[in-house]
Structure 1
Amino acid sequence: MSSAATQIAPPTAPSPGEWKTALLELLRVLRSRDLSDSAARSLALASATRLLADSTPAAANENTPRQTSVLALDALRAQLRELQLTQQLRIDCVLDPKSTTTVPTRAATTARRWTTHAITLLCNQTRVSRFHVTWYIGATQIVISIRDDGPGELDGQWLHNEIDLGGLPRPHQLDVRCIPRWGTEIAMTHVIGNHNLARSHLPHGHPLTTLNTRERDVLNIVARGEKNRAIAEQLGISENTVRFHVTNILKKLDVGSRQEATAKLFEELH
């Protein structure tokens, strides 16, 4: 082997910092309106964002089963900070005051990735400079709400598909609203854990024992954050029948909302 060859240093893998710098530069270029192929540009933009999310150190050890909700949102702010600076965006992240004090670490990680992915997709439009993000962390679900100040002219179906099939776990519930001259709003729900009610699990005299089989079926799906139409489709019944069952559930459990009924279910199963 020649002496020249022996002086060549072996290739080394980029450091996490180098990966992040490269990805941020890629995002800056991809947002340029000079690129003609919008479909390829959108795909590359989403891919780079997911790589950026993966390169960001977690705020809490993934082996730690739970973390505080405040810490989870702080980690989101940190993850978005460089994107915010390089893209000249203002991103306000707020924790709903009704949120629980802690959240499963894995669920928080998924929610951060969804949020980052959605914001990047919303950047695929002109005249957007500000985002407002709200996280509601409940006992059984995380609800993510994102609104921008853009023109609201994105194709809602395209946006829905890109979020739903963007390479991440699918949201259990996804709502997209694109309103011209008002902006775009995205709501995503991530169900935490698996909540199924069976009469055998309940102590004698518990209010949940008053529910019949169909009402328990409905409550199990309500606890996943589903709306009446989705419940009707899953159970093969009409939306009017779902509303009838939900009304009976609330009355039997002596609660005023679906969220309160879900809380009773969660308390019993945990």
Structure 2
Amino acid sequence: MSPVVRHGLARILSKQGICSRTEAARRVLAGRVSVDGRVVRDPEYPIVPGRQQIRVDGCDLEPPARIYLMLNKPRGLVTTVRDEQGRDTVYRCFDGAGLPWLAPVGRLDKASEGMLLFTNDTAWSARIADPATGPDKTYHVQVDIIPDAATLAALEEGVEVDGERLSARSAALLRAGDKNAWLEIVLDEGRNRQIRRLLAAFDIRVLRLIRVAIGTLALGDLPKSQWRCLDANEVAALRERSGEE
């Protein structure tokens, strides 16, 4: 007989796409959540999925409709719900939209721009963001040199940085000016500040970094700070690309 799997109450609420785990813990601690008719104030209270009745604010737990959207993130916004330093976050782009709780799929740092996905489907998000299963990510990167073929090959070969092996799946010259150039860099995994750290190892400074595609999904002409919902075919294509059943 298979062992019974239990998860913490706050995690269950988050997995259902109701809210973030942090917000779920707040609701539990505030006495807004009941299990089988009894108020529970422990966010780690063990739950067997599908066997117990969970209610939030007196209402049965019903997951909201799944939403998948793409934002063209502008430079200068941090990818978090709340920032301890009071900086503007990506959620400013959704002001007044009336959207349910959504979480970013992966991250872009404050200085980076371009495609950032959001969803309340935590399983789909995990597959897309997982370095082992997620689709390739394509970036257009403006740098402060004009790299030669040997430099591009070295970026693909990779280098050890702080005990980590960093490399690009592909690195190609898009166009060059007198003093700088635009590269197209494709990653098959998304480590923290991977492109910036990789280029810095070769004394190359990033002037701009824009994510233009995830798998076959392209940013296209979506204006800066604007967002749109993905259609069913786009969602399915990323799901298949990530190997999700």
Normalised TM-score (structure 2): 0.25
- Bigger relative contact order, structure 1 or 2, given CA contacts below 8 A and separation 6+? 2
